[in-house]
Amino acid sequence: MAHLIDDDPRIIEFDVRTDEMLVNMGPQHPSTHGVLRLVLRTDGEIVSETEPHIGYLHRCAEKIGENVSPRQWIPYTDRLDYLAAMNMNLGWALTVEKLMRHEVSEKARHLRVLIAELNRIASHLVGMGAYGLDLGTFSPFLYAFREREKILDLFEEACGARLTYSYLTVGGATADLPSGWLQKCEAFLDQFEPVIKEYHALLTTNAIFVKRTAGIGLLSREMAIDYGCSGPVLRGSGVDQDMRRDGESIYTGMYDGYAFEVAVQKDGRYPRDHTYPTVPSEAILGDCWHRFFVRMLEVVQSMDLVRQAIDRYAACREPLGEPLKLSEKLPIGDAYLETEAPKGQMGFYVVGNGTSIPWRVRARSSSFSNLSVTHALCRGCLIADVPAIVGSLDIVMGEIDR
């Protein structure tokens, strides 16, 4: 009898079992945007489980913040989201100003809008280029960096640094813009506007790009809210929320009088005040394509805001005002403020105890919440989709690990 079972081809066939394989994607991997480690459980090409491991870039930034004065912590905020350091500076500065009930001059307000929106463009350019890299095309990345480089040149002229600016600070900015800077900025915007069409041709409307992103990594509206997603990830799922419009008054007051429309799909349509490409029929609201597209729309939106800010800043005759002194005492009390950083809602929390050193400092990062959906989005996808999904979340590890 035994030999009959051994010879039965069906039994031999059913005896062949495929095993699941655990694969480490990262922390040293070309497509994990820094030092993210994803543990994939794969069955062939299909990923059944994705578990993000974080902590490889932890630098105790928050604890350091409890040992230095708020202005001294500004350089540490640079290193949170190092691709949008200006926005990090701004978030922290506004939080401390909220605690101290300090109001900056009109000129500083417009300068902040100008600089923050310019950095949003730079950050989204990296997000866009790196996403192309994740999908296996190298050239858009360099096209994006070519333009980002010009923004960095502008920043360098304004504050001397190209990555970690420490420019916007508590009470205003460290210095006023040099003369002739606004003209250069306008020249850049004029030159940059047609380049966006190139990006759309290379990525947004590219057939292979659409095939790789449309319908992949679907994040429903409810899920996006449940997981606490924010920024383009949230708006890519069709949730109409932008802290620049819906935030606290100390932040939204900065954008008082600025005209902008939140980049989100409403009633099946995106705000179309520019020549955007149309949404491909394969794309479903909440997929990788929409998250990417929202970012592209925000680039145009930010350009518009920068133009408005240039006019307003140039119209201001009063001086910029001095930033707060390092030894300035913080009042007893606490303050929490969320701002709209390029990656999402960046929250800072500060507790003052009457000295110049805060008693407690805490940062709430948008990338952290955005990354938490990875596990849900990557269930049952292919290995090639993992970089496509994680890339579309546009995370920065400096901000997650702090």
Partner 1 sequence: MADFLIGLGLPGWLAWTVAALVAAVLILNVIAGGALAFIWAERKIAARIQDRLGPTRTGGRFGWLQSLADGIKLLAKEDLMPEGADGLLFRLAPYVSFCASFCAFIALPFAFDVVGQRLNVGVFFVVAVLGLEVFGVILAGYASASKWSLFGAMREAAQVVSYEVPLGMCVVVPVMLAGTMDLVTIAEKQAGWFTNWYLFHDPFTFVVFWVYVTCAVASVNRAPFDLAEAESELVAGFHTEYSGLRWSFFFMAEYGSMFLVSALAAVLFMGGWNGPVPVATILGLSEGTGDTAAYLVRLIGLANLIGKATLGVLAMMWIRWTLPRLRIDQVMTTCLKYCTPIAAVMFAGAMLWQLFLPAGLLPGWRRPPGEVREGWLEGPGGSAVGHGVPVSGIGPASRDVLATRSPR
End-to-end C-alpha distance for the chain, whole angstroms: 66
Helix (H) / strand (E) containing 41: strand 37-43
Tokens of 143: 């096209």
Residue among 59 and 146 whose Cβ is closer to partner 1: 146
| Number of CB atoms found within 10 A of residue 27's CB | 17
Give the shortest CB-235-to-partner 1 separation in angstroms: 24
Tokens 């858009």 map to which residue?
Answer: 140
Measured CA to CA, the distance from residue 166 to residue 156 in angstroms comes to 11
Residue among 46 and 182 whose Cβ is closer to partner 1: 46
Written as one string, the DSSP assignment of 313-333 is HHH--S---PPPPTTPPPPSE
Measured CA to CA, the distance from residue 172 to residue 120 in angstroms comes to 19
Give the shortest CB-2-to-partner 1 separation in angstroms: 33
Residue type, 196: I
Give the shortest CB-344-to-partner 1 separation in angstroms: 23
Collapsed DSSP state (helix, strand, coil) of residue 395: coil
Give the single-character DSSP code of 203. Answer: I
Find, among 342, 296, 119, 126, the residue nearest to 203 by Cα: 296
- Any residues with CB less than 8 A from the CB of 136 and at least 6 apart, and which? none
| β strands within 21-161, DSSP E | 21-25, 37-43, 46-53
Residue among 25 and 262 whose Cβ is closer to partner 1: 25
Residue among 212 and 402 whose Cβ is closer to partner 1: 212
Give the shortest CB-208-to-partner 1 separation in angstroms: 5
Residue type, 398: G
Give the shortest CB-348-to-partner 1 separation in angstroms: 33
Give the shortest CB-30-to-partner 1 separation in angstroms: 5
Residue among 39 and 225 whose Cβ is closer to partner 1: 39
Residue among 45 and 226 whose Cβ is closer to partner 1: 45
Residue among 130 and 306 whose Cβ is closer to partner 1: 130
Give the shortest CB-197-to-partner 1 separation in angstroms: 16
Residues 131/33, Cβ–Cβ less than 8 Å: no
Give the shortest CB-133-to-partner 1 separation in angstroms: 6
The residue ranges that bind partner 1 (CB under 8 A) are: 21, 23, 29-31, 44-45, 132-139, 142-143, 146, 202-203, 206, 208-209, 211-212, 382-387
Collapsed DSSP state (helix, strand, coil) of residue 16: coil
Residue among 133 and 309 whose Cβ is closer to partner 1: 133
